[in-house]
Amino acid sequence: MAIVSFGPIVDGVRGSIGGVTFSRAQSSDTVRGKPRPMRPRRVSQLLNQKLMSQASHMWESVTTAERLGWTNYAATVDLTDGLGNTYHPTALQAYVWHVLMLLNTGQSVAAVQYPAMPGLPSLPVLTFLYGAPTLFLQDVVPTLAAGETLLLTLHRIDRPNNFCRTRVSVRHIYVDASAHPVPIGASYDESWPVGALARAFIYWRYQDMFGRTSILQLDKYDFTVA
C-alpha cells in the first residue's frame, strides 16, 4: 500500500481502476491493490477480533454527553501519519483503544470514563534482560504508580534485522514495579543453538492513572542464546 499526497489542482481520488483502489484513510489518501477481508485463523487473532467487536458495540450505548467528552479528548491527541502530517483520532477510535486495554488486562468496563487529562501519556522506558532460557522485563522507569498498567506482547524469536512476523509467544500484564526483574517469557530461547544472535520483539501499550492509553509501542532486544 502507498500513501499519496496531492497538489493544489487535484485534492483526491476515489474508486478502483484496473484492480487498484484509491481510498481515504484516517489521515491520508492511499493507493493499494483490491483489499481482501482478513480472516483470522489463530486463537489470539480470533480473540482480538472478538474484543474489537465488543468494544465497538459498547460505543452504541455511550451517552451523548460521554461522546462529547471522548470527542474533546480525541481532539487533544496528536498522531503522525507516514507523510509526517499531524492528525487526531476519532472519538470512537480513542474509546476503542481505552476499552481494549481494559478488556485485555481484565479490568472492569462497567463504567468506562474518558481520560481526565488531555493528550497521550508520557511513556516509561522499558529495559529487558535475558537469562537462559528466560526473557525478563528488567526495569520500568519511572516506576508504575497505582492504577497504571503495561500490556506486553512478546513474539517468538527472530533473527536480527528481520521484521518479526512470527506468532505471538505470550502476553504479559504488568501492574506492579516492586520486584525486578520480572519474567515475561519462560523458555524463550526454545531450541535455538547456543551462540546464536537473536532478537526479541516486544510490543506494548501503557495506560496511566488518568486513563490515557498510549499507541502501540515496539521495543527490540538483541541477545546471544546461552
CA dist 85 and 3 (Å) reads: 12
Q: Rounded to an integer, what is the distance from CA 198 to the centroid of its chain? A: 23
Separation of first and last alpha carbons in the chain: 40
CATH architecture of 125-224: Sandwich (2.60)
* Sequence spans of domains, the chain: 2-33, 43-104, 125-224
Side chain identity at residue 156, one-letter code = R
What is the share, in percent, of the chain residues with pLDDT greater than 70?
72
32, 15 Cβ separation under 8 angstroms: no
pLDDT band at 177 (very low <50, low <70, confident <90, very high): low
Q: How many CB atoms lie within 10 A of CB 118?
A: 13
Coil vs helix vs strand at 58: helix
pLDDT band at 41 (very low <50, low <70, confident <90, very high): low
Cell of 35: 483489499
Average pLDDT over residues 9-31: 64
Q: What is the pLDDT of residues 90-122, one digit of tens each?
A: 999 999 999 999 988 888 888 899 999 999 999
Coil vs helix vs strand at 29: strand
Mean residue pLDDT of the chain comes to: 82
- Which of 19-23, 38-42, 85-89, 127-131 bottoms out in mean pLDDT, i.e. has the lowest? 38-42
pLDDT above 80 (res 153): yes
